[in-house]
Structure 1
């Protein structure tokens, strides 16, 4: 089965910018695009296949048809007919809210299907773009309530000036906020839950303050403190470099200027490529061929044994 491309789901937001449409080479007019959902199985926000024999089909409908052939047999037993990962590009022209996501256990107690663990890979962001992630000093739940009430929540969060290539892992429970000027790729569990802690007294287009979720957030926060929230890795040419390995997804980065073959014969999972830079032609063991360029993402079915990649390209590889 041939790797699959999807039509992006572009979402305009009050903090959205103008980077995504040109990055993806789209000939459309849409303002303040904050997110492009590249591959999504979220209910009512499912990706639509762009081309080939399944063109026009929703991702989860294709999954129901192909089952383990698409997802991997063990993955299908666990996730059923809901694609388990959500891939996005995010362009923050303005500061996002300070937020947190519950873990699976807490999410279920809150009446949700699952929690949300995610990761960020920073792309070509504005100079001096910043983000906040994690606590920089120990606080108690009681102190948390006070600093939210008196607008000093930012004082206890670690802040980073970011550059292209920086990577951050955001396990459920870690407070975070994408800052003004950040342009990034995000990979996460299939979940659209976000508990908003603080929104800088910002109003929406109708002049109303956006809803906060102080109680739900308080139930979800992981109060552990780390010295550094960066993901430490060493860049290497023409081989995969692991960025995140967790129960929800495994992500590596490839930076190629030579042809490379990647062997998936022992992997019982789909694979996602998210192209960050460049262009390549990709073929597989079934003699399927597809191109991949900056701004595109493809889904490689679990039945694929290997792919041969030729071109100068940088991409993220993710699977479960």
Structure 2
């Protein structure tokens, strides 16, 4: 119960910040966005939001990192996962629990890269079940919040095989550790604020330096890498490359379909669609069921008071910019830039209110429909 006497699943609540170690560096832009006056790039470039997933970091297995924490009214903290397990239907929704149990089926991150990530691939669900006994793969989507030039290089992503790449030629590039050759085998796509990309399991990719984005994904940390050294010279152990399944099976994880630049861009770059609009705001669909059945992502832009309706399942909100409040049937909470909010399934409607100084912009993330 909260201090108001209501069950915790009856109101939204803020999540504590949750930085996670990765093989690449970054985070300065992320820290500035969160209000830090001493922001710097480190080995903790990612913020995991509403996470019930433990990070898989080779060499750091003794550190249980990645799980989001909640601050309770009595001043204590507890993992979000434990809170959900105390009342799965109340927090996640009856229909969601019927299909996924107490698993959120979702993981959200905010990440800021000061160097290019290693070229990688995530398993689709069939491969994840066969090789990792996981019901979830790692299809993901990116919403670009902004970026910065690094060493004169503007933000970009590497995405999808160019025509002519085969499993045999890709294996040769990997065995020689021909990094330039692997980079040249992928399309380089410049990105800017507001861009949205869907990254399906099996598609080779790498987030480029300077990217600042929200990532929504299936709830695993299954990443297979083909570079044994990061761009800044850090060694990547073999286990971090193949995650225990071996090099040959790692290479099988890739989908060896190739596309022209135009086809790759049109296939995976998504255009936001207006869902509804009023004089006080609007709601856009960034990733909807037409794009994937793995998750959904919307955004709202509020200048006055704008309402969103519940659908019987939980949601995760990230305040991108602006400030104001969010209110529900019997409560209200102030919100500011970088706040992370868990919205339990029982909330039928929320009113988002901008304080008028700047437009209130919020990204809303939802599990599969």
State TM-score, norm by structure 1.
0.90
**Structure 2 residue aligned with 1:74:** 95
Rounded Cα–Cα distance in structure 2 between residues aligned with 1:308 and 1:262: 7
Deviation, structure 1 residue 78: 2.5
Does the Cα contact within 8 Å between 1:61 and 1:81 map onto a contact in 2? no
Q: Is the 8 A contact 2:308 2:349 kept in 1?
A: yes
Following the alignment from structure 2 to structure 1, what is the Cα–Cα distance between the partners of residues 29 and 232? 23
CA distance in 1, matches of 2:103, 2:272: 32
Judged with a 3 Å threshold, the aligned counterparts in structure 2 of structure 1 residues 108 and 253 are, in CA distance, closer, same or farther, namely: same
Q: Which residue does the alignment assign to 2:212?
A: 183
What does 1:48-127 correspond to in 2, within 5 Å?
Answer: 48-52=69-73, 55-113=76-134, 114-127=136-149
Q: Which residue of 1 aligns with 2:364?
A: 317
For 2:230 and 2:47, how far apart are their aligned partners in 1? 26
C-alpha distance in 1 between matches for 2:228 and 2:158: 13
CA contact (8 A) 1:281 1:309 kept: yes
Match of 1:140 among 154, 159, 166: 166
Tell me, in whole angstroms, the C-alpha distance in 1 between the residues paired with 2:191 and 2:33.
Answer: 19
Name the residue aligned to 2:255: 222
**Cα distance, 1:216–1:89 mapped onto 2, change above 3 Å:** farther
Matched, 1:21 2:43: no
Give the TM-score taking structure 2 as reference length: 0.79
Gaps of 5+ in 1: none
Q: How many residues align?
A: 315
* Secondary structure, aligned partner of 2:322: strand
Task: Give the secondary structure class of the aligned counterpart of 1:187.
Answer: strand
Q: Is the 8 A contact 1:275 1:292 kept in 2?
A: yes
Comparing both structures, which one devotes a greater share of its residues to strand? 1
Residue 233 (structure 1) aligned with residue 272 (structure 2): yes
Larger Rg: 2
Cα distance 1:172–1:82, how it changes in 2: closer, same or farther (>3 A)? same
Q: Cα deviation per residue 1:16-45 (whole Å; 9 max; x = unaligned)? A: 241222211257887513111122001443
In structure 2, what is the equivalent of residue 3 of structure 1? 12
Whether the 8 Å contact between 1:124 and 1:183 is mirrored in structure 2 is yes
Superposition CA RMSD, Å: 2.3
Aligned partners of 2:123 and 2:253 also within 8 Å: yes
Following superposition, the deviation at residue 203 of structure 1 comes to 6.7
Q: Is the 8 A contact 1:12 1:31 kept in 2?
A: no
